[in-house]
Amino acid sequence: MALRNLVTTGGTCLRNTIFRRCLSLTPRTLGGGHHHPPIPEPYVPKPRDTSERDWLGRRKLPRLSKDSHDHTMDDYQSYIGGAVFVLLTLGAVAFYTDVFGMNIKKNFKHAHHKEAITAKHTESTHSHSEESEKPKPKPAPPVVQEKPAEKKAPEATDKIPDFIPYLLVGSGAASYYASLSIRARDAEAKVLIIGEEAELPYNKPPLSKELWWYPENQGQNSLSYKGPNGKVKDVFFETQGFFVPPNEISSAKHGGVSIVTNAKVKKIDAKARLVHLEDGRSIRYGKCLLATGGHPRRLSVFEPFEKSGNVLYLRNVNDYYRLTDACSHNGTISIVGGGFLGSELAYSIKKRFPETRVVQIIKEAGPLANILPLFLSTHTRGGLERAGVEVRTESSVSGVSKSEAGLLHLTLSDGTSVASNYVVVAVGIEPNVEIEIGDEIKKDTEHGGFRADAKLLVAPSVWCAGDSCAYDTGILGRKRIEHWENAQITGRLAGENMTDGNKSFWYQSSYFSKIGPEMFINAVGNTDSKLHTVSVFAEQETPSSNQYQKGVVFYENKGEIVGCLLINVFGAGLDVARRLIDERRSVGEAKELAKLFSLWDIEREEEKENAKSKSS
């Protein structure tokens, strides 16, 4: 083998040598030896340069032809078409981008629509001593400004179909996700959404969270915010182009989703499969979804002052506009309620408007007292106070009066009082079940809302989803849940079952919240503070004001885990929690089960163990 390689290598060298020698032959060799003189190189005369040159001395490019061209009618039409295209392009750029500073779009809108009135932001200082209150000019009631027209849904028209295969009552998250599920399983399905609001379906959690924490700009009427990745988002699920006009949905060749806004359903006849609107119109349906949502719960003590504009609620886009305008006056905002909405707003308002005084009035012992163990509720209160919120616990509003300066004086049950420019009532919601439903559709007297089974069916060909749906969750029993993910999951499940599906509820929906800068909450299952709880928190290496930085709270019923609440724990924590609930794990294993969550830094723990082993 070695010899063969050697021979092959030698042969290669020989061939290469011969090849190089052939290339090195000279003209003398070809001529017959050194007795002959070298062959002279042939003389080739250089062509004369006759090309034209410009005034810089550069050679001009030759013309392809010197023949003149006679223009025809086609040429002139091409010139005119090109000019028109350029003019239209410049006009579109000027209209939509205002790149030339002509404000064409703004002037066009002002000529066709009434210009919105902008509230003036008056700067004022507030004394925290309520006994020495000084008269202040009466603040103007908040002005509702319309959102951009391109996101505005068309108002209800008389041209709606007489019959629709899939009718969704309500235009919230549940109906939107139900429409996606229906269209995914029936590609040519025709879906009609009927909603009371003027807007297209939109995402409501940012109204108390991201729009305050990460606004795209400081404009009060902006519905855009920056996501965690820095990308700008808005609250709307889809643009107007996604929806088929109501008068065209019946003839749409491949179906689609249509929406009728500013319309309210008055009655549902489940036997006749007929829906009656308040304006007198009716529509027949093949299958119907009740996703009516809810409305803010009101307190009778504030009813006489609601028309004055000083008492506010937060449930929709217009409420958000009013609230941001009220906060911009740098006065005092009192928030009545210690649940998620009230606590989120207390932190959110103070974060976005630091000059505004925020007072949170809580009936319970602390924020989220109906969910968190007492020690965590107390810890949450401390976080809000460090953020600048004044928290009044174990207090309720027993009386309200209005001063000549336009301030609302709230008398609390503990004998103190608060003078406020505006009051936000956030004490929960009531399900929208005012629709006349007949005997076929039942209401849940215990939990509120419409009564459904595990498949979300309430009557033949009628399903429900979202905040107004009380259904059998399986392992956790019958519940009515008022969280965004529940609306999404129940909407998808209802849409699947409306398209001949037969699936029961199986997924434990979660919720999230951010209360203060140091407390991010994720939870799943039954998280009622009345239940027995076991909490496991990671030990802090250095002393900190936030001693409960990372942890998990297990909620147990009859020894089994029925809920988990995670504090500043991310990743797959919710999926782990769902599995523990589904497997009915014992709360006695809490300390070991806590290791399934990312409470500790694994590398640091290994370093500690190595250090201990070396020292021993």
For the domain made up of 150-202+237-296+431-498, the CATH class stated in words is alpha beta
Radius of gyration, CA atoms only, the chain: 37
pLDDT for position 65: 56
542: pLDDT confidence band, cut at 50, 70 and 90?
Answer: low
pLDDT for position 50: 65
Is pLDDT at 425 greater than 70 in this prediction? yes
Nearest to 197 by CA among 152, 251, 150: 152
For the domain made up of 298-427, the CATH class stated in words is alpha beta
Interatomic CA distance for residues 508 and 370, integer angstroms:
20
Residue 309 CA neighbour count, 13 Å, CB half: 14
The bridge status of strand 560-567 relative to strand 551-557 is antiparallel
- Asked whether 193 and 257 are in contact (CB, 8 A), the reply is yes
pLDDT for position 415: 92
Nearest to 197 by CA among 45, 318, 350: 318
- Beta pairing partners, 451: 470
Interatomic CA distance for residues 60 and 51, integer angstroms:
7
Residue boundaries of the structural domains of the chain = 150-202+237-296+431-498, 298-427, 518-605
- Asked whether 556 and 562 are in contact (CB, 8 A), the reply is yes
- Asked whether 271 and 278 are in contact (CB, 8 A), the reply is no
Interatomic CA distance for residues 18 and 24, integer angstroms:
10
Higher pLDDT, 326 or 43: 326
pLDDT for position 226: 86
Give helix 340-352 / helix 374-386 axis angle, nearest 10°: 20
pLDDT for position 153: 53
- Asked whether 434 and 427 are in contact (CB, 8 A), the reply is no
pLDDT above 90 as % of the chain: 61
Q: Which pLDDT tens digit goes with each residue over 554-586? A: 999 999 999 999 999 988 999 999 999 999 999
The bridge status of strand 532-537 relative to strand 417-420 is unpaired
Average pLDDT over residues 134-157: 47
Interatomic CA distance for residues 263 and 609, integer angstroms:
66
- Lowest-pLDDT range, 87-91, 320-324, 453-457? 87-91
Burial 137-155 (b: 16+ CB within 10 A, else e): eebebbebbbbeeebebee
| pTM > 0.85: yes or no | no
DSSP 128-149: S-GGGPPP-PPPPPPPP-PPPG
62: pLDDT confidence band, cut at 50, 70 and 90?
Answer: low
Is pLDDT at 185 greater than 60 in this prediction? yes
55: pLDDT confidence band, cut at 50, 70 and 90?
Answer: low
Q: Which pLDDT tens digit goes with each residue over 479-488? A: 999 999 999 9
Q: Please state whether 534 falls in left (phi above 0), alpha (psi between -120 and 50) or beta.
A: beta
Nearest to 348 by CA among 426, 267, 278: 426
Is pLDDT at 501 greater than 90 in this prediction? yes
Interatomic CA distance for residues 543 and 595, integer angstroms:
22
152: pLDDT confidence band, cut at 50, 70 and 90?
Answer: low
Interatomic CA distance for residues 314 and 204, integer angstroms:
10
Domains 150-202+237-296+431-498 and 298-427 share a fold: yes
pLDDT for position 222: 82
- At 38 the three-state DSSP class reads coil
CA distances to 15, 29, 42 from 24, in Å: 14, 10, 22
Average pLDDT over residues 172-182: 98
Burial 332-353 (b: 16+ CB within 10 A, else e): bbbbbbbbbbbbbbbbbbbbbb
Interatomic CA distance for residues 540 and 538, integer angstroms:
6
Average pLDDT of the residues of the chain: 82
Q: Could you tell me where the beta strands, DSSP code E, fall in 518-580?
A: 520-525, 532-537, 551-557, 560-567
For 219-364, where are the alpha helices, taking DSSP H only?
Answer: 317-327, 340-352
- Asked whether 198 and 236 are in contact (CB, 8 A), the reply is no
CATH code of the domain made up of 518-605: 3.30.390.30
- Lowest-pLDDT range, 127-131, 331-335, 604-608? 127-131
pLDDT for position 219: 62
Greatest alpha-carbon span in the chain: 132
User: CA quadruple 198, 201, 205, 206: dihedral positive or negative?
Assistant: negative
Give the number of residues written for the chain: 616
pLDDT above 70 as % of the chain: 75
DSSP 345-378: HHHHHHHH-TTSEEEEE-SSSSTTTTTS-HHHHH
